[in-house]
């Protein structure tokens, strides 16, 4: 976990009426709902791989007043597991929006922006990296260059050659899927887990509330593409009994799927931790 923050409920639920989504994740008087910033630590015999980092603490009070970040940072939570910053070998960034890569860098004692995980290789992909640097008007408030440009400047960044057609093999049995509805070339890690696989959904399906197909965020650049990608992923996960991990669900971390009596794909086993 990398803490919590708040976002506008209307933006998070898109065209779904408030009278419906308010029952799922109630908003406060400012229409803000709580959301998690869930990171994932993957430990193998040779690696400690961190998936996303949360907001971090570089940004000033004005920025924080928009999003109300709270809770322990990813570094603090790793330490409770006996893992120090220096132990992380790889940092996989699903995409470069601030709530996913803010703690990829930090200020050192001299006030310089440096990688938070000093011995890690950081991973993105060239398509998304170039897209982030273009600073389109729709997303420029989400792409904060201090969160990711120093990684390339300091030589710790590598790119994964992703493709939207099929997952590509990465490290330690982890596959990487490319998703293009939320932003250009977001990466979803897909890994072996309990005789099946676990898919970390990032912002394709940010919470268990977003499992129904029409529940697509207004933040998504290409919502109809999100709809198609969701349908594909949910059907595959149902067919193969995959586990799904939700990055922004404020309570539930993971679920499997089933069909209900109306033939719709819904959550089956659901848990506040990995099942």
pLDDT tens column, 115-152: 999 999 999 999 999 999 998 999 999 999 999 999 99
- Helix/strand/coil for 79: helix
Q: What is the pLDDT of residue 275?
A: 75
Could you read off the pLDDT of 220-263 as tens digits, one per residue? 999 999 999 999 999 999 999 999 999 999 999 999 999 999 99
Residue 106: predicted pLDDT: 97
Instruction: Give the mean pLDDT of the chain.
Output: 96
The answer to whether 146 and 130 are in contact (CB under 8 A) is no
Q: CATH number, domain at 84? A: 3.60.15.10
What is the predicted pLDDT for the residue at 141?
94
Assign 138 to helix, strand or coil. coil
pLDDT at 66: 94
Tracing tokens 């989400």 back to the chain, one arrives at: 142
Q: Based on the structure, what is the number of domains in the chain?
A: 1
Q: How confident is the model at residue 1 (pLDDT cuts 50, 70, 90)?
A: confident
User: What is the reported pTM?
Assistant: 0.96
pLDDT, tens only, 150-179:
999 999 999 999 999 999 999 999 999 999
Say if residues 90 and 104 touch (Cβ distance below 8 Å): no
The predicted pLDDT at position 176 comes to 98
Domain of 113 in residue numbering reads as 4-271
145-to-94, 97, 148, 245 alpha-carbon distances in Å: 16, 10, 6, 28
Helix, strand or coil, per DSSP, at residue 26: coil
């Amino acid at each position: 976990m990398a803490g919590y923050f708040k976002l506008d409920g209307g933006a998070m639920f898109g065209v779904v009426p408030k009278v419906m989504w308010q029952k799922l994740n109630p908003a406060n008087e400012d229409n803000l709902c709580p959301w998690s910033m869930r990171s994932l630590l993957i430990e193998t015999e040779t690696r400690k791989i961190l998936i996303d980092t949360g907001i971090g603490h570089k940004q000033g009070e004005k920025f924080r007043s928009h999003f109300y970040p709270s809770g322990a940072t990813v570094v603090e939570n790793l330490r409770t597991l006996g893992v120090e910053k220096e132990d992380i070998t790889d940092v996989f960034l699903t995409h470069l929006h601030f709530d996913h890569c803010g703690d990829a860098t930090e200020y050192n004692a001299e006030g310089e922006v440096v990688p938070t995980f000093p011995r890690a290789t950081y991973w993105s992909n060239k398509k998304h990296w170039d897209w982030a640097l273009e600073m389109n008007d729709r997303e420029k408030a989400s792409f904060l260059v201090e969160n990711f440009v120093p990684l390339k400047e300091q030589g710790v960044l590598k790119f994964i050659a992703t493709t939207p057609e099929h997952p590509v093999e990465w490290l330690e049995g982890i596959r990487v899927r490319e998703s293009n509805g939320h932003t250009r070339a977001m990466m979803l890690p897909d890994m072996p887990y309990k005789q099946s696989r676990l898919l970390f959904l990032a912002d394709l399906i940010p919470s268990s509330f977003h499992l129904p197909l029409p529940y697509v965020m207004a933040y998504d650049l290409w919502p109809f593409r999100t709809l198609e990608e969701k349908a594909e992923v949910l059907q595959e996960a149902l067919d193969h009994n995959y586990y799904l991990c939700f990055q922004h669900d404020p309570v539930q971390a993971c679920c499997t799927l089933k069909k209900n009596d109306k033939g719709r794909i819904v959550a089956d086993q659901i848990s506040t931790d990995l099942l």
